Chain A
Amino acid sequence: MALLTIKDLVLGYESRSILAPLDFQVQNGDYLCIVGENGSGKSTLMRTLLHLQAPVSGEVIMGDGLRANEIGYLPQQTAVQRDFPASVAEVVLSGCQGRMGLRPFYGTKEKELAEKAMKQMHIMDLGRRCYRELSGGQQQRVLLARALCATRKLLLLDEPVSGLDPKVTAEMYDLIEELHKQELTVIMISHDIQAAIRYATHILHIGKEVLFATKEEYCESEIGKAFLGRGEQ
């Protein structure tokens, strides 16, 4: 069964739809990039997938034993967070809250999970550093480690490289690719169509027209060609 099945999903606010109905499936191990114009509804889609927002109509069905508290999410950073006085370890550990239920304090299992996530993100040496003193790229890695703690299967990333310089951006993509290779399903919103083409297995183009296709199909399609062409200019 597919990990995520989106059926006739109509996004919008208060019964006003912003897009044509969406219909696609995400399988285990996929790497889906959501691309499109600014303001076309990419973030709305992601929030709807996470049940943070109710759709106008349609369903998001989670299969393959996936539960709501097993989805890792990397949202866009807020100004408050950039200035937050917390150690990196505390931030990463907080990703385990989804599996804590009512338990007040973290156990050894959670601490080991956090350690593992930090190792994967190559931030073990940053453990005691203050979050607000880190660079943009380092902060994103910390937040990605936090998202890892929350998930065993599925990672949702909302523009993870926005505001990062090219070298750091490349590092970030490499990290995400590593995670993908370790059997994590990735759904990523990205403005960077070139990177999407390079790493993704599937593309979901949202805009005046909606297209869900594999990477190869997308490159051959009208929409894909137009979007890519524009990107190259």
Chain B
Amino acid sequence: MDKLWMYLQIPFVQRALIVSVLIAFCSALLGVTLVLKRYSYIGDGLSHVAFGAMSVAAVIGLTNEMWLILPVTVLCAVLLLRAGQNTKIKGDALIAMVSVGALAFGYLLMNVFSVSSNLSGDVCTTLFGSTSILTLSEGEVRLCVILSILVFVSFLFFYNKMFCVTFDEEFSRAVGMKVDLYHLLIAIMIAVIIVLAMNLVGSLLISALVIFPALSSMRLFKSFRSVTLFAAAFSVFCAVAGILISLLFGTPVGSTIVTVDTFGFLVCFLIDKISGGIRK
């Protein structure tokens, strides 16, 4: 379509596509591990923490908010992933507490200290990511590229170790692997991706980026490697499709991406059911 071609020429659309491909790719990779460890909702929890940190940074008046958002989110990721190891219930409840508390606190701060002229707009954009992805500067794109490459390279390098730790933590410890180090690594990667992904789909919808590709992929594929690869491809496809659709039809970017993800999952679910679930 001509319109599509026109959009693809626009620099801010190109930037949005580059960034969303990278973010979708990385979150899908980590999503498989998270879903298997039953930490699906951690994306949500961490994004709310990031929102809270962002409010604090705005109130303090930091020019570059990343100085506060990234460390706080990384710290929370480490705490949440560690605490959940002993009892699953603890992990669940802790994520919920931190998530809701941070969101409320952040919104309260922004209200009380009125740092922005359009409070509900700000909050709405952060929660739903309406246009943040379309208004990225070159610097932000560069940061995203560098961080995504770092996450991807780490993931590749530690892939086999993370598989072993995710599949069986006890066994990994017994054979002398530094399980805590890998947990820390996963926590840091998650935190970085979450903070980046807030730009794409906003806080409330981040879980979708993490969960849907992994679940869709696990319906169809039998080995961990193929599950991971397909999850990444699925996520990238849905993100690109979502952005293009939202540009063409004037729909909100974040929700469109998540809706495409949902349809994709349904398609995979149906294929699985129809083919009887057995496929080489």
Binding site for B on A (CB under 8 A): 50-52, 68-69, 71, 73, 75, 78, 80-81, 84-87, 89-91, 93-95, 97-98, 100, 104-106, 128-130, 133, 146-147, 150, 156
Contact = CB atoms under 8 A, between A and B. Distances in A.
5 A-B pairs closest in CB distance: A98-B175, A87-B223, A130-B222, A69-B176, A73-B174
Contacts of A84: 36, 167, 224
B35 to A, nearest CB: 10
B172 A97 contact: yes
A73 B224 contact: no
Interface residues of B, number: 30
Given A95-B171, A130-B223, 5 more contacts: A52-B174, A86-B223, A87-B224, A94-B163, A104-B159
A99 B158 CA distance: 15
Contacts of B160: 93-94, 97, 100, 104-106
Q: Is chain B's binding surface mostly helix, strand, loop or mixed? A: helix
Contacts of B156: 104
B218 interface: yes
B170 A97 contact: no
A128 B223 CA distance: 8
Interface string B157-170: 11111011001101
Contacts of A104: 156-161
Contact of B175 (A91, A97, A106, A133): A97
A133 B167 CA distance: 15
Contact of B36 (A73, A75, A80, A105): A80
A50 B280 CA distance: 37
A81 B172 CA distance: 14
Given A104-B156, A106-B160, A128-B280, A85 B175 contact: no
Contacts of B172: 97
A98 B163 contact: no
Contacts of A128: 222-223, 280
Given A84-B36, A104-B157, A90 B175 contact: no
23 contacts: A50-B174, A69-B176, A73-B175, A75-B170, A80-B36, A85-B218, A85-B223, A86-B167, A87-B223, A89-B223, A90-B163, A93-B160, A94-B160, A94-B164, A94-B168, A97-B161, A97-B172, A98-B177, A104-B160, A128-B280, A133-B222, A133-B278, A150-B171
A69 B172 CA distance: 10
